[in-house]
């Protein structure tokens, strides 16, 4: 008031978040800050994403092109974590298994399941092999190293999109299933594997996050695990929110914020109007929704389009997740605020794409 403003925070993180440039046009709800709202970048062994681990290309040929190559060592990871920490950002690793592990097999023999064609190995490999004790020893060693480098109390263990066809083809896996009393129910095998690695994380004093698939297969996962919803339409994820919270599990919602899915027009409006707590359940159940997550998957994204595609879409989701719902119910009132914020980003050198036709004040002062 009267040209003055003051900001008091109980912790340094509150002060970092209370950035005045936002405070001038937003009323923040203190409770919303204590939620666990995150932005998810997937680091994959796929050359389409800038943060990748890959072997050095052949540079011996004359005039060889030097692509942007990152070999991530522990000290690089520590640098990223420290850079983020000073900006009030926590970096959580996801080590997704047993699916999505093709690249792991290159470095760790016997980790992946050999697929069979009839009675002989076909030469192809499937998900991590859940039938071998060595798998769990490897995972324990890996997760121990991960938890020594990433200080955060959460580790994401994946567990999504496991294709059972290779497990089905493998006679050793089938024999293991018989021995364990799983019959031919491969969802039980995946549940067994996930329960084992969630137990490793618990032993390491970390909290596991897993994709919804794990709950869908097997509701009896350790209660402390956080479930991550990524699938489906609003009707579907509302049902999932009800089911998971009814089972007493904590949930992170990502399904409505897959911002790599682009479409013509102002798709940020869809991200803005999501109501994560609009599902049938008690007040106790609603408290178990610990936040939302914006995801940007790397299939069509690299250093050339990451930033424009990310912003201002992620800003829309951020205001939804970080602000009191009552103060932010109008998408039309959000428009000028978001447009202004996008201009702030541009002025600070962040190449955020426009929301619509127009220009920023700093770009044109008139002739
Ligand atoms: C699962 O893997 C098999 C063998 O690689 C493949 O033929 C099949 O299309 C895959 N299924 C799905 C749903 O991706
Ligand atoms: C995981 O830990 C729980 C609690 O200690 C235990 O009951 C369960 O059998 C363990 N699961 C596996 C697959 O080892
Ligand atoms: C376990 O983690 C919690 C939360 O991160 C921490 O407060 C506690 O000191 C840790 N305990 C051990 C034995 O490391
Ligand atoms: C809230 O959920 C109901 C269905 O349960 C739906 O009809 C309504 O559109 C939702 N509201 C919003 C803003 O998503």
Q: Answer whether 275 contacts ligand 4 (Cβ < 6 A).
A: yes
Q: What is the pLDDT of residues 285-343, one digit of tens each?
A: 999 999 899 998 888 888 899 899 999 999 999 888 888 888 889 999 999 999 999 99
Say what the pLDDT of residue 260 is: 87
Please identify, by atom number, the ligand 1 atom nearest to the C-alpha of residue 124.
5
Cα–Cα distance for residue pair 197/53, rounded to 1 Å:
24
Ligand 3 nearest atom to the CA of residue 206, by list position: 2
Residue pLDDT, tens place only, 101-116: 999 999 999 999 999 9
Q: Are 127 and 101 in contact (CB under 8 A)?
A: yes
Is the C-alpha dihedral spanning 96, 101, 105, 111 positive or negative? positive
Kindly report the average pLDDT of the chain as a whole number.
Answer: 84
3-state secondary structure of 41: strand
Residues flanking ligand 2, CB < 6 Å: 192, 195-196, 199
Q: What pLDDT does 52 receive?
A: 27
- Atom nearest to 164 CA in ligand 1: 1
Which residues touch 105 (CB under 8 Å, ≥6 apart)? 111, 112, 125
pLDDT at 49 over 60: no
Q: What's the rounded Cα separation, in Å, for the pair 198 and 323?
A: 33
Percentage of the chain with pLDDT > 70?
Answer: 81
Q: Of all helices (H) and strands (E), which one includes residue 338?
A: helix 331-347
- Ligand that lies nearest to the alpha carbon of residue 272, given by its number in the listed order: 4
pLDDT at 42: 41
Instruction: Tell me the whole-structure pTM to 2 decimals.
Output: 0.83
Residue 335 region by backbone torsions, left for phi larger than 0, else alpha for psi between -120 and 50, else beta: alpha
Compute CA distances 82 → 36, 294, 321, whole Å.
Answer: 19, 22, 25
> Which of 205, 208, 226 has most ligand 3 atoms within 8 Å of CB, for mutation?
205
CA 308 to chain centre: 19
What lies within 8 Å, CB to CB, of 128 at 6+ separation is 97, 98, 101, 104, 111, 112, 113, 135, 139, 193
- Cα(165) to centroid(ligand 1), Å: 6
């Amino acid at each position: 008031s009267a040209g003055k403003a003051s900001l008091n925070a109980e912790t340094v993180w509150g002060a970092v978040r209370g950035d005045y440039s936002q405070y001038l046009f937003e009323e923040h709800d203190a409770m919303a800050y204590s939620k666990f709202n995150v932005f998810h970048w997937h680091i994959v062994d796929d050359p389409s994403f800038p943060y990748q681990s890959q072997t050095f290309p052949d540079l011996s040929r004359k005039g060889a092109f030097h692509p942007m190559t990152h070999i991530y060592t522990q000290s690089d990871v520590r640098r990223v974590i420290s850079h983020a920490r000073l900006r009030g950002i926590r970096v959580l690793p996801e080590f997704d298994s047993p699916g999505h592990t093709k690249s792991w097999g290159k470095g760790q023999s016997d980790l992946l399941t050999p697929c069979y064609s009839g009675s002989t190995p076909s030469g192809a490999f499937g998900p991590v092999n859940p039938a071998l004790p060595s798998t769990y020893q490897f995972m324990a060693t890996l997760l121990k190293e991960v938890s020594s480098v990433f200080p955060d109390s959460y580790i994401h263990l994946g567990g999504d999109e496991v294709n059972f066809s290779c497990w089905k083809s493998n006679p050793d896996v089938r024999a293991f299933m018989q021995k364990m009393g799983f019959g031919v129910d491969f969802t039980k095998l995946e549940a067994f594997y996930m329960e084992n690695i969630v137990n490793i994380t618990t032993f390491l004093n970390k909290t596991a996050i897993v994709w919804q698939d794990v709950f869908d297969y097997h509701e009896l996962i350790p209660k402390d695990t956080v479930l991550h919803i990524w699938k489906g339409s609003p009707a579907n994820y509302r049902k999932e929110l009800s089911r998971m919270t009814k089972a007493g599990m904590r949930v992170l919602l990502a399904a409505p914020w897959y911002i790599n899915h682009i479409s013509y027009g102002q798709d940020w409006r869809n991200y803005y109007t999501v109501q994560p707590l609009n599902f049938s359940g008690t007040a106790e159940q609603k408290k178990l929704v610990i936040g939302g997550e914006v995801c940007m998957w790397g299939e069509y994204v690299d250093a050339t389009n990451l930033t424009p595609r990310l912003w201002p879409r992620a800003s829309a989701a951020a205001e939804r997740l970080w602000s009191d719902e009552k103060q932010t119910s109008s998408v039309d009132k959000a428009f000028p605020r978001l447009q202004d914020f996008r201009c702030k980003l541009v002025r600070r050198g962040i190449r955020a794409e426009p929301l619509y036709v127009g220009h920023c004040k700093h770009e044109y002062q008139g002739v």
